[in-house]
Structure 1
């Protein structure tokens, strides 16, 4: 078992990464149902939360069936981040995570996200302020450093553990890499093997198959892995990894019926959470991945992204199931979206 504060997770847990405009409650629910052990919200601005911005407040919503859930905050001011932590505490998630890894220029310019990597003492003060402001277990997600010349993750891990964090997730790139090149897990392994480190250490970056998950588990010895981009439109990645870890064999890919069923469930939850207009709109970007690999699917997909009636959308999904049920979609490598590819340094 892996312990984060009072949260007990299975051996080698699989975590869903916090992803802006992706990791909303409907998506987290379907990932949880398909094998994710711990899920995280989209990152939330401490400033927006304090100012009662509607968008930020909505990000605190949690469906019971997705728990355990961590709420992730970002911010560069100690007092404001601590106050936001108190607000999060009231909403009763299972844990609070601090984002020191987001490379987006707008967030870095605020002195938040991976922008804090240039000031380790500030990172420590921000973390300590959160730990002292909440009764929740506090965890951190970060990167190896700001650039190749400042890969300071070993020092960061020790200092953050000293001020009270209960787990650490490390993305194997620097901020300046964004999502380019290959994630370097060797420094993650150094943190895990540091005799001073006794909290769980999770690795993140480039896991897009069950085989790679097992390879990295054995090679780097981390306590678990966090999966982000590979889960977009394919929540079964968690199920496939767990099956492969337990048996050494690949399980069957999701059938067309499973794909349609999960797509409908995410739509139902989106309507429940966002309402009939926003719920329909937010699902439009999901259909491509759910239906990928079906021949002649373009016309159906075009209808799905233009319809506004939930009933009509469900009818089209039923048509797709009727036409394609029994069709075996060939398993293909999961393509990792290059987030923020146009984000200047």
Structure 2
């Protein structure tokens, strides 16, 4: 791993999705500080700060990768969709920052030759300890805006400071690990996932890793503007039968590359075309999916959109537009 992480970074337009997630973190941090003006939150603020270092590395998913599975589209763009191989998500190529220019970064951990990044599955601190598996090591707070290439090529290098890292019970550690720490009686926990360096042929290749089928105990959704402004206003999904069908159908969705789908969606970030669906699992984790009116579903910072059959999707979409 150490001698294989090498690449240069192109100029990238920061995706609005990541910008909005960063803004949510700011709002959450401010709210917590207002409620608790004590020294004990210094650790929490530092932890949130690791979450807020979020911009350019996300763009690494959208660089002009030179991969054999890519095909040239009529407009000259590169498409990672291949009818036989599915969509290939190349390994993250970490930047060689040689010009001293400040660069924002998403939270990440280097472990076992893989790059694990922040995810859209959350875990409540009170539930996290029960999911701790084997202790894998402790992160080094060695990466910041000015880090050079060699600093990325170190086991447990990270942008999150120093935290213990564990495998997660019930999940493949090649996919998910957990950063966990206890400070002054408080628990800090966050999942990190590796959704790169893999081929995706159908939804099961990604959604199957989340262990959702048969394990969802409740679900809720919220509108784009609420999510965009960090407002926790959710509406429940009460149709259990439809929810179970939807979750099962996720495994059969068809993957398309970000470059193929994103330009066709137009300005879809609004309440009429964009929802956030939260699925609460038996183990206490909460999976959040982006659901778009045209039938597309996206998870986390992966470079793939998934298209669901209209029959199932339209019923779920209708349910999410009643409030």
Structure with the higher fraction of residues in helix conformation: 1
- The alignment's TM-score, normalised by the length of structure 1, stands at 0.26
Larger relative contact order (Cα-Cα within 8 Å, sequence gap ≥ 6): 2
Structure with the higher fraction of residues in strand conformation: 2
